Amino acid sequence: DGHVVFENVSFAYDERQTALRNISFSIPKGATVALVGPSGGGKSTILRLLFRFYDTQSGRILIDGQDISTVMQRSLRKNIGVVPQDTVLFNDTILYNIHYGDVNASEDDVIKAAKAAQIHDRILSFPDGYETKVGERGLRLSGGEKQRVAIARTILKNPPIILLDEATSALDTTTERQIQRAFAEMTQDRTTLVIAHRLSTIVNADLILVIKDGQVVESGSHEELINQA
């Protein structure tokens, strides 16, 4: 599972401007892919279409050969984990926030996922550990901490495809790198990981797609792109 193909996909939010222009690419199963390029280029739009937050207006998106417009949204989203740029957590405990959506997981599984997302030690320093409440009436977490909680949730869910949107992330570079590394190590070969990022600082990407003005202007491995430049 996890082979993603965009075939001549176009998308516009309104008549005035086109966000994606006839875009085509293929992501091998299990690959780590970085979508990079200037702000407004279309990276987030690609992730939104893949998650069917919007439907394509022309062209097709295939996952494992199946046109996603023919797949029930519910079953599609079972197979895709999303870590959005601005994670909103429930006003509940850390445990609940990581555990949410996976009723079968044990507390041990939750801790394992938190360790992989590099938030476990931080959680232990909270007043009530995993039972610490967050949100309006609880502890205020930083943007990076919230995102790590969301990452732990996604790791626990263990879907074949994970989308990580850092396109306009306010996180500092060190935090971003740590998160990317944790993901890449966690998900090696099993999971297709698509990271949208404004800079080309993605570690361990198998494939880099440079997205500009709604098109793929360059693609290849890190080495290939450096040799072209």
Q: Which is nearer to ligand ADP, 41 or 160 (CB)?
A: 41
Q: Is 40 left (phi over 0), alpha (psi -120 to 50) or beta?
A: left
CA angle 148, 49, 171 (to 5 degrees): 25
Q: Which stretch binds ligand ADP (CB under 6 A): 41-49, 59-67, 122-130, 169-177?
A: 41-49
The reply to whether 13 sits near ligand ADP by the rule CB under 6 A is yes
Whole-number minimum distance, CB 17 to ligand ADP, in Å? 5
Sheet holding 4-11, edge to edge: 20-27, 4-11, 58-63, 66-67
Provide DSSP, 164-176: EEETT--S-HHHH
Among 3, 6, 45, 116, binds ligand ADP (CB under 6 A): 45
Asked if residues 1 and 79 have their Cβ atoms less than 8 Å apart, the reply is: yes
CA nearest neighbour of 116 among 143, 157, 152? 152
Q: Which is nearer to ligand ADP, 28 or 101 (CB)?
A: 101
Among 15, 16, 39, 229, binds ligand ADP (CB under 6 A): 39
Q: Which stretch binds ligand ADP (CB under 6 A): 64-72, 76-84, 169-177, 217-225?
A: 76-84
CA-derived radius of gyration, the chain: 18
One character per residue 80-99, x = contact with ligand ADP (rule: CB under 6 A): --x-x---------------
Q: Which residues here bind ligand ADP, judged by CB under 6 A?
A: 13, 17, 19, 39-45, 53, 77-78, 82, 84, 101, 167, 196
